[in-house]
């Protein structure tokens, strides 16, 4: 099956829209196929502001109205606990609310941007998609992340080279989630982005920060470490370290 066939079979759908490459290309494909699609962005304490702005920008570019649902995910005890099943409880809460809203708005089918490169066996949040009958057309059509990125570039969407971005909750290790910890991680990553880095993470354990970069940026991080440390130290009472293990880079 290809996406055009999928949207012929499902002409009226709602999409859990993140503003990332995968969901943006899925939105583009739906519009191109003439489907009636509702785009829904769920705004929580786990998403930095730029994610919402990117989502709005893509929707403007494609002429699609964006519905922003604001939810207090920090009110969910099983999420705040930050256990291994955090993603499951988080996704169940968010997609449960999204499913109810989409049905109330008259959309019988709910989609997400899972692609054929995603290992669903390794992510507890994906169980929710099956439980709520959420469809993943990119995965069903065998579209991998590299293929989607190439197609998104060909489509002219401005986010085609946007790095994959995991939610801010993934930055906090070995402790319950707090708004302060999430805001600190967001602020730290905003600072590092101004220094010319991309596709990096600032993890936090207690009051210590750990900067993770891709292999190609490691030398830059070492050479800039004095400036990085000076800028981040006010946020972390126990200091900041550079992780000697580099992150895997995605080939664009």
Beta strands in the chain (DSSP E): 12-16, 36-43, 66-70, 109-111, 201-205, 208-212, 240-242
Determine contact, residues 99/69, Cβ cutoff 8 Å: no
Q: Could you report the per-residue pLDDT of 229-239, keeping only the tens digit for each?
A: 999 999 999 99
pTM of the entire predicted model: 0.92
Query: What pLDDT shows up at residue 142?
Result: 96
Determine contact, residues 20/147, Cβ cutoff 8 Å: no
Express as a percent the part of the chain with pLDDT over 90: 88
> Which of 22-26, 125-129, 164-168 ranks highest by mean pLDDT?
22-26
240-242 β-sheet, strand order: 201-205, 208-212, 240-242
Across the range 176-183, mean pLDDT stands at 95
Determine contact, residues 128/120, Cβ cutoff 8 Å: no
Max CA pair span of the chain: 57
Say if residue 113's pLDDT is above 50: yes
Measure the CA–CA gap between 241 and 87, rounded to whole angstroms: 27
152 φ/ψ sector (left φ>0, alpha ψ -120 to 50, else beta): alpha
Say if residue 27's pLDDT is above 90: yes
């Amino acid at each position: 099956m290809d996406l055009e066939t999928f949207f012929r079979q499902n002409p009226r759908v709602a999409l859990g829209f993140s503003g990332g490459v995968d969901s943006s290309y899925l939105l583009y494909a739906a519009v191109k196929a003439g489907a009636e699609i509702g785009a829904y962005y769920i705004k929580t304490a786990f998403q930095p502001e730029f994610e919402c702005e990117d989502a709005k920008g893509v929707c403007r570019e494609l002429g699609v109205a964006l519905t922003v649902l604001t939810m207090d995910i920090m009110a969910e005890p099983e999420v705040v606990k930050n256990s291994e099943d955090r993603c499951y409880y988080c996704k169940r809460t968010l997609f449960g609310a999204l499913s109810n809203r989409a049905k109330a708005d008259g959309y019988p089918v709910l989609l997400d941007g899972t692609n054929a490169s995603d290992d669903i066996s390794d992510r507890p949040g994906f169980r929710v998609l099956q439980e709520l009958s959420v469809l993943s057309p990119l995965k069903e059509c065998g579209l991998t992340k590299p293929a989607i990125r190439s197609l998104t570039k060909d489509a002219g969407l401005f986010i085609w080279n946007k790095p994959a971005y995991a939610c801010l909750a993934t930055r906090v290790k070995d402790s319950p989630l707090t708004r302060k910890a999430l805001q600190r991680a967001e602020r730290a990553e905003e600072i590092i982005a101004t220094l010319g880095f991309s596709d990096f993470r600032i993890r936090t354990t207690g009051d210590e920060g750990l900067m993770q970069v891709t292999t190609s940026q490691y030398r830059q991080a070492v050479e800039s470490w004095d400036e990085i440390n000076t800028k981040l130290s006010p946020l972390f009472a126990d200091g900041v370290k550079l992780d000697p293990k580099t992150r895997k880079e995605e080939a664009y």
